[in-house]
Structure 1
Amino acid sequence: MRRSWRPVAQIVLWQFGRREVPPAVRNLSTITFASSRVVDAELANRGFGLPWTTLTGGRASAALRGTFADVPHIRWASNSSALRSEDDGKEAESAKAEKQELVRSNYWGVVPKTATREDGSPWPWSSFRPWETYSPDISIDVKKHHVPENWEDKLAFWTVKALRYPTDLFFRKRYGCRAMMLETVAAVPGMVGGMLLHLRSLRRFEHSGGWIKALLEEAENERMHLMTLMEVTKPNWYERALVVTTQGVFFNAYFLLYLLTPRVAHRFVGYLEEEAIYSYTKYLEGIDKGHFENIPAPAIAIDYWRLPKDARLRDVVMVIRADEAHHRDVNHYASDIRKEGKQFYEAPAPLDHH
C-alpha cells in the first residue's frame, strides 16, 4: 500500500472462546493494523505466527499482549474484503475519485473550472454556467405584430395559424403543457438556422455578421425554457411521444424551408413567437385568476434569470414571455434584411438579445 495509514488487514473477533477476555478487549469488534510500523515480534509470533504490524496508534497493545495466543477463533480479512467503517469507506472513495479526476485532467489537459454563486456557494448546474445567466428586459412591448405585406408573409402567417388549431384541440386550456410542447418546437429553428449559416460561411469563406452565434443563443435560450417548464409540468408518456413525432417532422420541414428561402423561414419563426407570446399571456391570466397555482419558482429559473429567491411561477412566465418577444423581433428583423436583398453579414446580429 502506498499510504502508511491505509489498513492492510482487519481482524474480526467473532468468538471469544472459553477464557475470560480483559475489559480492554471485550468491546473491540474490529482491530485495524497499519503497515508502517514494526510489530512486536513476541506478540505477533504468539498470537498469529506472522510478522504483522503494530496496532494503529499503539493502542491496546499492552491490553492484548498475551491474549491472542489464547483466543481460539480468529478470522482474518484482507484489505479488499475487510469490514470498514462508513467514514473510512467514504474517504477512500473520495480520494480515489479525486485521483482519477486529476489523472484524467492532466492527461488531456482539460481542467474543469469550479464555479460558484455570488454568495460563494457551489454552482449546482452543469447545463449552464454563471456567466451565461442574465436579467431579462420585461419592459419589451409584447403586443407588436408584423402585418403580412406579400404572399410570402401571408404564407408564413397562415401556416402558423393552421398549426395552432391542432394544438388548441389537443391541449385546450392546459397552458402549462401547451407551453412545454411549444418550447420543444421553438428551440429547433435557431439550431437549424445557425447550422446552415455556419456551413454557408465555410463554403463561401465569408463572415456571418454574428448571426450564427445569435441563432444558436436563441436555440439555447428556448431549450432553457423547456428545462424550466419540465420542473413545473410533468409530461405524460403520450405527450413525450407527440414531442418526438413533432420534432422529427418539424426539423426536416424547417430545414428544407431554410434552404429554399431563409426570409420566409425567419418570418415563420417571427409569427411562431407571436403565438408563443399569446399562449404565455393566457397562462399569466390563468395564474392571476387562480386557475393555476402560483407555486415557487424552480431553482433552475432563479439562477438562470437571476430572479429573487422568493420568485414565483408568475415571475418565471413573465421572463419567458419577454424572451419570446425578443426572439420575435430578431426573426422579423432577419427576414427584413433578406427582403431588402442583403446578406446577413451586411447587418450585424443583435447578440445577447434574449
Structure 2
Amino acid sequence: MMNSKLAALLLKQLGSATVRTVTMGPLNGITTESSCFLHASGPVVPGRRTWIRFSCLGVRNGSTSALNNKEKEEKGVRTSSTVGGANRPEDKMIVSYWGMPPANLTKKDGSEWKWNSFRPWETYKADLSIDLKKHHSPVTFMDKLAYWTVKALRYPTDILFQNRYGCRAMMLETVAAVPGMVGGMLLHLKSLRRFEHSGGWIKTLLEEAENERMHLMTFMEVSQPKWYERALVVAVQGVFFNTYFLGYLISPRFAHRVVGYLEEEAIHSYTEFLKELDKGNIQNVPAPAIAVDYWQLPPDSTLRDVVMVVRADEAHHRDVNHFASDIHDQGYELKESPAPLGYH
C-alpha cells in the first residue's frame, strides 16, 4: 500500500512522464535507474510493485532532453536543437576520449603545432659532436658471437637494398625500434615482480624505441616502400621480436651487446648514405616537416641534415647499449646504476 502511494506521488510530480507497471519479485519499494522513458502499459494498481524509469537528470516536462544536450555540449559533443521543427547542428564536436578540448600548442614562432605523436617539449637538438668511430672490440665469447651475428645479418640487407639507402634506412628503423621496447617492457615487469626501482633504465629504453620510431616516420616521408618490402618488414619484425624477446630473457648482456653492434652498423649505413648524397647520386630534397620540428632543425634544412642527426642518435644508442652490456658483464643489474642521459 505504501508503495502505491509513493508511486502515485511520483506520477503527480512527473507530470507528462510515463511509467510502466510490472509485477516485481521480492524487491520492496520503487526501483529507479537511468534510462529512456517508456510508454505506460497500464495504471498503477494497488498491491502491485511499480517500476518507474526516468533519466537521472531532468524529469519534468521534457527537461531531460535539454539537460542531456547541455551535458553533451559541455563535453564537446555535437548536439542538435529543435527550432521550428527542424534540427540545427551545433558547432561543437567530440574532441577526445575524455571529452576534453586539446591544448592549444604552438611553436616558438607562434605558429600552430600540428603533430599529435610528440609535443614541443619532447623535441631536442641532436649532439653532432658525438664520437662516430667508437667501437667496442669483442673480447669474450659472447661479445664475438654478438658481433658476428650482426655482421652475418648485414649481407642479406646489402644484397636486397644495395644503394637504395632510403629504403635501407626504412627497413633498418623498423628493426631498430624493437629492442628498446622489449627491454623496457621486460624491465618494467621485473620491477613489478621484485618491488624494485629500475634506476631510470625503463624510461631510457622506451625513449630509445620512440626515437627509432620517429626515424621511421621521417624516412617514410622520403622513401615509399614497395609492397614486397612492406611484407618483408612484417616477416622480419615477427621473427626478430620473438628472437630478441627470448634472447633478453636468457641473457640481457648479450641482447644489449647485439644492439650495440647493430647501432655501429647503422652508423656505417648512414655514413654511406651521406656519401651518396654528397656525390649527387641521391637527390638532397628538403627535410620533411616532421624532422624539422622533432630535431629543431632550421626551416631550410635538407635530407642531408636529417641523416646527420639520425646518425648522431644511432651513436647515442650504441653507447647506451654497450654500457648496459658492460654493467651486466660486471655482475650488476639494470637497477642500481643510473642510465646515461637521454635525448631531452
When the two structures are superposed, what TM-score results if normalisation uses the length of structure 1?
A: 0.72
| RMSD over equivalenced CA pairs, Å | 2.0
Aligned counterparts, 1:222-241, within 5 A: 222-241=212-231
Aligned to 1:132: 122
Show structure 1 runs of 5+ residues with no match: 3-33, 36-51, 53-77, 81-88
Q: Distance in 2 between matches of 1:344 and 1:298?
A: 36
Aligned to 1:149: 139
Aligned counterparts, 1:160-309, within 5 A: 160-309=150-299
Amino acid at match of 1:208: S
Q: Distance in 1 between matches of 2:243 and 2:342?
A: 27
Q: Distance in 1 between matches of 2:125 and 2:208?
A: 15
Q: Secondary structure at the match of 2:335?
A: helix
Q: Secondary structure at the match of 1:345?
A: coil
Compute the displacement of 1:176 (Å). Answer: 0.9
Compute the displacement of 1:246 (Å). Answer: 0.2
Q: Distance in 1 between matches of 2:86 and 2:103?
A: 35
Aligned to 1:96: 92
Compute the displacement of 1:346 (Å). Answer: 1.8
Aligned to 2:113: 123
Contact 1:116-1:123 at 8 Å conserved across structures = yes
When the two structures are superposed, what TM-score results if normalisation uses the length of structure 2?
A: 0.74
Contact 1:213-1:351 at 8 Å conserved across structures = no
Residue by residue over 1:208-228, the C-alpha shift from the partner in whole angstroms, topping out at 9 and shown as x without a partner, is 000000000000000000000
Q: Distance in 1 between matches of 2:343 and 2:253?
A: 20
- Number of aligned residue pairs: 265
Q: Distance in 1 between matches of 2:341 and 2:130?
A: 17
Contact 2:95-2:102 at 8 Å conserved across structures = no
Contact 2:274-2:307 at 8 Å conserved across structures = yes
Compute the displacement of 1:111 (Å). Answer: 5.0
Q: Which runs of 4+ in 1 moved over 2 A?
A: 110-114
Q: Distance in 1 between matches of 2:141 and 2:320?
A: 21
1:256–1:105: structure 2 CA closer, same or farther, 3 Å change rule?
Answer: closer
Aligned to 1:310: 300
Contact 1:301-1:316 at 8 Å conserved across structures = yes
Q: Secondary structure at the match of 1:113?
A: coil
Residue by residue over 1:42-93, the C-alpha shift from the partner in whole angstroms, topping out at 9 and shown as x without a partner, is xxxxxxxxxx8xxxxxxxxxxxxxxxxxxxxxxxxx746xxxxxxxx9xx56
Aligned to 2:72: none
Q: Distance in 2 between matches of 1:198 and 1:261?
A: 16
Q: Distance in 1 between matches of 2:98 and 2:200?
A: 32
Contact 2:284-2:302 at 8 Å conserved across structures = yes
Compute the displacement of 1:275 (Å). Answer: 0.3
Amino acid at match of 1:177: C
Compute the displacement of 1:114 (Å). Answer: 2.4
Aligned counterparts, 1:28-39, within 5 A: none
Residue by residue over 1:188-237, the C-alpha shift from the partner in whole angstroms, topping out at 9 and shown as x without a partner, is 00000000000000111111000000000000000000000000000110
Amino acid at match of 1:311: S
Q: Distance in 2 between matches of 1:207 and 1:105?
A: 31
Q: Distance in 2 between matches of 1:101 and 1:278?
A: 44
By percentage of residues, which structure has more helix? Answer: 1
Contact 1:210-1:351 at 8 Å conserved across structures = no
1:112–1:351: structure 2 CA closer, same or farther, 3 Å change rule?
Answer: farther
Contact 2:124-2:343 at 8 Å conserved across structures = no
Compute the displacement of 1:105 (Å). Answer: 4.1
